[in-house]
Amino acid sequence: MSLHYPSVLLENAVNEFAKLPGIGRKTALRLVLHLLRQDVSQVEGFAQALVTLKQEVKYCRSCHNISDSEICGICADRSRDASTLCVVENIREVMAIESTSQFNGLYHVLGGVISPIDGIGPSDLQISSLEERVRQGEVKEVVLALSATMEGDTTNFYIFRKLHPYNVKVSIIARGVAVGDEIEYADEITLGRSILNRTPFDESYKLK
């Protein structure tokens, strides 16, 4: 359905919203009309929050995560184990892993994965700075937590080779049947992985 906008200002605002991923023109219109019903101050607050973020955002000098300061809260936290680095694609994975409360080391945010089809090579990612962190000698283990995709795997191998000269253990998060999933519906590669990587079971084992 082609839409006839009664106002150029309206159309501009819809066009801007429709540039966002997963937002079609109809959703964009609904969001813009919602904002139109709010006070001017609320719309300005919305706009200002985005501009301020973009203008003032910092990236942690150490792990490259988004931060309000030179060194992010996680890297600055002395209670965390600086000998274990978890390598992730971006800040969303940091937040997801943090919310599990199962990891007490530090992170290294690559900013993506190697993807020749999208023109993203190793030099576009924070891989040499990872190598530099490892070279300094404090890191004992690097945990790879990238997407289980072709690109993620390529990146895993690349990092593994780069870190090979150093005395560092490289591990990868477990692939297996997700908690809550039924075995019969798991794909065969995942199921195969979960059998190969089976772990000892005792009475203390709980799915939580």
* Residue 189 is a binding residue for a second copy (CB under 8 A): no
* Residue 206 is a binding residue for a second copy (CB under 8 A): no
Residue type, 71: I
Rounded Cα gap, residues 39 and 129, in angstroms: 46
Among 73, 137, 165, 192, binds a second copy (CB under 8 A): 73
**177 closest CA partner among 165, 188, 162, 164:** 188
Shortest spacing between CB 198 and a second copy, in angstroms: 27
* Residue 96 is a binding residue for a second copy (CB under 8 A): yes
Among 20, 150, 178, 189, binds a second copy (CB under 8 A): 20
First to last CA, the chain: 47
Residue type, 85: L
Residue type, 10: L
* Between 92 and 169, CB nearer to a second copy: 92
Instruction: Determine which helix (DSSP H) or strand (DSSP E) holds 58, and give its type and residue range.
Output: strand 58-59
Q: Are 134 and 162 in contact (CB under 8 A)?
A: no
* Residue 15 is a binding residue for a second copy (CB under 8 A): yes
Q: Which residues would be at the binding site for a second copy (CB under 8 A)? A: 1-10, 12-13, 15-17, 19-23, 27, 29-36, 38, 40, 43-58, 60, 65-68, 72-74, 90-92, 94-96, 98-99
